């Protein structure tokens, strides 16, 4: 079971191409800072803007650089079930520990269609699979009943819940009737409440720029120090908020550039954040005493 602060990794670019040197630096930095796991090629990794070849390479390189020091959950979702199967098969061949599959977007499948989609990937692959439920991006929302039904399959291991519905983890725990299921938050701002409702960790955007602080919050919670966890969470809140002033991952890529981790480059149709957003992000970073030095 994955726990603690996992990072929804950005995909750094330079001159229009994937910046492999930056990926290597970033992975080593996360290991040193205490991040519990890495999640490349999700929403924050701009997976919709990556070619198939780039997607495969980013997953392979992340696994290679992590070198077993921390687990890698590869983003392998697609609104094409065939493509999701192929991406997941590649992730397993590359050595990933698990796969994260976003809900089929745009197609607007029914609950039965959602079940059939994830069942097809499950039956065609051998990795532990995590359902990424994010209604705000995908329009569709998997019900608790459908998720509990999928959880009966041996390799459906958990969920990244970005519904921002505080009742979900409670409802799912009741529906699962004691069966093991790994519940991870996909919302930095509400993650502490999610943990209090039975969650196990967070796949975090903020961890791209404040990994040590995010890890410390989860460590305090795991140690039973709720007061310390709340204190750390509230310190992080201005940064959580700032990184979503504009569409993510624009603000977090700008923030990473301010730490010298990579450039702020982002692919169309997303654009580099406006100056006012940049100022908000920098102010939040300075409030956490992060080493804001400018882009590399």
- In angstroms, the first-to-last Cα distance of the chain is 36
Tokens of 207: 């961890």
DSSP characters over 163-195: S--TTHHHHHHHHHTT---EEEE--GGGHHHHH
CA distance linking residue 29 with residue 216, whole number of Å: 15
* Beta-sheet strand order (sheet of 98-102): 37-39, 4-8, 201-204, 182-185, 156-161, 129-133, 98-102, 73-75
Q: How far is CA 95 from the centre of its chain?
A: 18
**DSSP designation for 160:** E
Enumerate the active-site residues: 132, 160
Sign of torsion over alpha carbons 129, 135, 137, 140 = positive
67 CA to centre of own chain? 19
Radius of gyration of the chain (CA): 18
Longest dimension (CA), the chain: 51
Supply 162's token pair.
Answer: 């970005």
DSSP for 247-277 reads STTHHHHHHHHHTTSS-----TTS-PPPHHH
**How do 17-18 and 13-14 pair as beta strands?**
antiparallel
Residue 208 tokens, joined: 């791209």
């Amino acid at each position: 079971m994955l726990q603690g602060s996992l990072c929804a990794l950005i995909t750094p670019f330079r001159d229009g191409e994937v910046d492999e040197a930056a990926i290597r630096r970033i992975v080593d930095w996360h290991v040193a800072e205490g991040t519990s796991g890495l999640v490349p090629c999700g929403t924050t990794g701009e997976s919709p803007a990556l070619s198939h070849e780039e997607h495969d390479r980013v997953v392979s390189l992340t696994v290679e650089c992590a070198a077993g020091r921390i687990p890698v959950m590869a983003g392998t979702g697609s609104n094409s079930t065939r493509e999701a199967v192929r991406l997941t098969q590649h992730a397993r061949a590359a050595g990933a520990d698990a796969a994260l599959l976003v809900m089929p977007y745009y197609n607007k499948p029914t609950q039965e269609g959602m079940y059939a989609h994830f069942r097809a990937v499950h039956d065609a692959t051998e990795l532990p699979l995590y359902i990424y439920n994010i209604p705000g991006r995908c329009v569709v929302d998997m019900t608790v009943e459908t998720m509990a039904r999928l959880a009966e399959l041996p390799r459906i291991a958990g969920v990244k819940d970005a519904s921002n519905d505080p009742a979900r983890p409670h409802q799912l725990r009741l529906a699962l009737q004691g069966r093991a299921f790994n519940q991870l938050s996909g919302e930095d701002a509400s993650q502490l409440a999610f943990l209090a409702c039975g969650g196990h960790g967070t796949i975090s955007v903020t961890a791209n720029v404040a990994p040590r602080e995010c890890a410390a919050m989860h460590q305090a919670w795991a140690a039973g120090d709720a007061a310390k966890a709340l204190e750390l969470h509230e310190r992080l809140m201005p940064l959580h908020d700032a990184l979503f002033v504009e569409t993510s991952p624009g603000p977090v890529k700008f923030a990473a550039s301010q730490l010298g981790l990579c450039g702020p480059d982002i692919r169309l149709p997303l654009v580099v954040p406006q100056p006012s957003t940049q100022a908000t992000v920098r102010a939040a970073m300075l409030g956490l005493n992060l080493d804001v030095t400018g882009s590399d």
